[in-house]
A and B are shown apart, each in its own frame.
Chain A
């Protein structure tokens, strides 16, 4: 019963949401809105809670053990700072919350993201090798796309842009479409397997 009950609830909700998606009946719309606005938000709140509790616990354990203590303390302070400032002074323009967001969080995250450029530079020297024909084709396509997004005056627009456009609109788009169709069919199959109780890995068991 410990497995059967979640399976029944999951299957039932899967079917209800499937029907609601296609139905325009007033009752269906009301029920749909109730599930989307209320029920999903409650689930989200709990997932957030699980994340926060886990984050705090892991960091406290590390502080106790003396591992990376200063960083862990800063992490916990950062976690507490945003909700506390939001609760005390609100989230309007000019509030401490917005100041922290604009002057601490945004620059820090942009900096971390910008580090990617250094990895790209390093990888372009050490990793992008034309050691086979497919690798060479990939490399040439990547260089064409890269240059087409640059400003090299008339040179790019006359010679490179049309070729780069062709690469984007033909081989790249064909591959992308095939992947998207594959993802769509895969999602559909998995959803049906979950609804019908065939897929049970999400319960920690094996699928039939």
Chain B
């Protein structure tokens, strides 16, 4: 097999990422205003506030979404907020359930009184709208099949009016639907933890205040971990991400040098 230029790019990338992941380096980052805004928002809520956390992502985004979700859950459980977990994408269902149970165990939180997991609801726009009308009718049972009435934490909860806010953990455009239908129609405060690729998509909503707060990507996860004083997978992956970014910038520079040198030679002939 003839080795082409792209194969060298692939090999270089693999080497850079593997070496970076072998080094256990957790940087001290300068925390952005965005991450601080989310931290202060969650901190400002009275202890025991009822929050709905929606796992709106697929399994493919796990390396980025997991550190974000863990940082959020750690902060929320530490503040003793009561959490309702749901998923509007099928693959987020199992992930959300696992992460909530894992964090609840770490903070000695009880299922049914400190947190519940209602599971997946298809047709996300319909689900967001119907929860605004009635949460118990949208989710008559939780993920494990227990009836709404048997979950003490949910007593008296009717709709978004009884929640302090909604936090969407998303890798796609779901946050937009939460803003348009949850915030727009029912006025529930919406915040988001999103994959880095989606940050600029939601910037206008954050600037206008339609989105209360937003944390984005691995860098956001690392910053948030620093704010809560629990360095985790986000901080651990920062060196790999930085190395990869520098590698990509170096390839862009080399590619352009080769291009311009080639063009000049072509003109000279």
Contacts and interface: CB of A to CB of B under 8 A. Distances in A.
A124 B252 contact: yes
Contacts of B130: 32-33, 36-37
A70 B236 CA distance: 39
A126 interface: yes
B58 A109 contact: yes
Nearest to B235: A151
Contacts of B101: 93
A110 to B, nearest CB: 5
A129 interface: yes
B251 A32 contact: no
B261 interface: no
Interface in B5-43: 5-6, 9-10, 12-13, 17, 27, 29-30, 32
B204 A143 contact: no
A25 interface: no
B98 A105 contact: no
Nearest to B263: A131
A37 B259 contact: no
Interface in B212-262: 217-219, 222, 238-239, 241-242, 244-249, 251-252, 254-256, 259
Interface of B: 5-6, 9-10, 12-13, 17, 27, 29-30, 32, 58-63, 91, 94-95, 97-98, 101, 122-123, 126-127, 129-130, 133-134, 137-138, 143-144, 185, 196, 200-201, 203-204, 207, 217-219, 222, 238-239, 241-242, 244-249, 251-252, 254-256, 259
Given A93-B98, A150-B246, 7 more contacts: A44-B122, A98-B98, A124-B255, A129-B256, A150-B241, A151-B241, A152-B242
Interface of A: 21, 29, 32-33, 36-37, 40-41, 43-44, 48, 91-93, 97-98, 101-102, 105-106, 109-110, 112-114, 117-118, 120-122, 124-131, 139, 143, 146-147, 149-154, 157, 161, 168-169, 172-173, 176-177, 180
